[in-house]
């Protein structure tokens, strides 16, 4: 039976339903075949203990459930996802996200999930990264984002970077849609939907995830209040993501051998 959303469900940590996940696995298998999806580096996923799994954000983030399913198949762990609060205003979508264990991406909820030993999936770039222009494909929009780094330091958990190649090619986006939203609507939370794939549908592109080695904070929990320490840790994670993306794009184009990890 599907649990229908009730106000406040986005704050609950107990709604992940393994039965729903098992029911969705055949559909995710079809999606995996459709996109010829592959994961490289699953051995870098911790088999136990809390960790933050950080992903780059594309306009249609189908890579997140595909990666979650791959982690589940390989390790038996069910990742928990942090998502934008606007998702919980979307009927049907919110019920699916709830069943898969997603919660509102607040720091207190993320901290509680990590304190319980969960593998927590987050896209630090958020919607601005998702709706960037095609000219900035694969740019990491995390330079202004410190929340994930501060959280990892405070909770003393590693960050596992996971970069998806292909996700920024499902649509052509001529302009930064969030910037257009700000200019014409006066807000940055509503992007103007100017994008195309196969008409309004996303293109069928090959998707590859490259997972890097866990990056440990290397500073005590109190350093979460030290801005310099937070920025240094964030920059280490961003550098690792950029290396994975450069490597993945080069491999796709037949130009690279695996680089040393940063």
Q: What does each C-alpha distance from 102 to 31, 200, 218, 219, 261 come to in angstroms?
A: 20, 27, 28, 29, 30
- Distance in angstroms between the alpha carbons of the first and the last residue of the chain: 46
Whether the Cβ atoms of residue 170 and residue 196 lie closer than 8 Å to each other: no
Report how far apart, in Å, the C-alpha atoms of 47 and of each of 61, 151, 176 are.
Answer: 24, 20, 38
Q: Give per-residue burial for 54-79: e unless 16+ CB within 10 Å, then b.
A: bbbbbbebbbbbbbbbbbbeebebbb
Please give the structure tokens belonging to residue 171.
């649509």
> Which residues are part of the catalytic machinery?
57
Query: Do the bridges between strand 159-165 and strand 208-211 make them parallel or antiparallel, or are there none, so unpaired?
Result: antiparallel
Query: Pairing state of beta strands 103-104 and 208-211?
Result: unpaired
């Amino acid at each position: 039976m599907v649990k229908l959303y009730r106000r406040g469900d986005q704050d609950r940590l107990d709604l992940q339903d393994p039965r729903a996940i098992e029911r969705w696995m055949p559909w995710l298998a079809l999606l995996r075949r459709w996109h010829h999806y592959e994961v490289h580096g699953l051995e870098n996923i911790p088999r136990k203990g809390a960790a933050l799994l950080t992903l780059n954000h594309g306009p249609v983030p189908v890579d997140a459930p595909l990666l979650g399913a791959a982690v589940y198949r390989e390790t038996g762990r069910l990742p928990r996802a942090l998502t934008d609060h606007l998702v919980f205003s979307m009927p049907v979508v919110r019920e699916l996200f709830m069943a898969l264990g997603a919660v509102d991406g607040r720091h207190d909820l993320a901290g509680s999930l990590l304190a319980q030993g969960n593998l927590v999936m987050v896209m630090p770039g958020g919607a601005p990264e998702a709706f960037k222009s095609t000219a900035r494909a694969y740019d990491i929009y995390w330079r202004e984002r410190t929340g994930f780094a501060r959280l990892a330091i405070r909770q003393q958990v590693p960050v596992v970077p996971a970069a998806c190649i292909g996700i920024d090619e499902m649509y052509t986006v001529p302009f930064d849609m969030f910037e257009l939203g700000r200019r014409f609507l006066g807000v940055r939370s509503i992007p103007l939907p100017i994008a195309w794939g196969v008409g309004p549908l996303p293109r069928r592109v090959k998707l590859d995830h490259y997972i890097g080695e866990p990056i440990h904070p290397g500073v005590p929990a109190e350093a979460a209040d030290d801005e310099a320490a937070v920025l240094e840790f964030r920059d280490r994670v961003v550098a690792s993501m950029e290396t994975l993306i450069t490597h993945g794009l080069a491999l796709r184009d037949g130009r690279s051998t695996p680089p040393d990890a940063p």
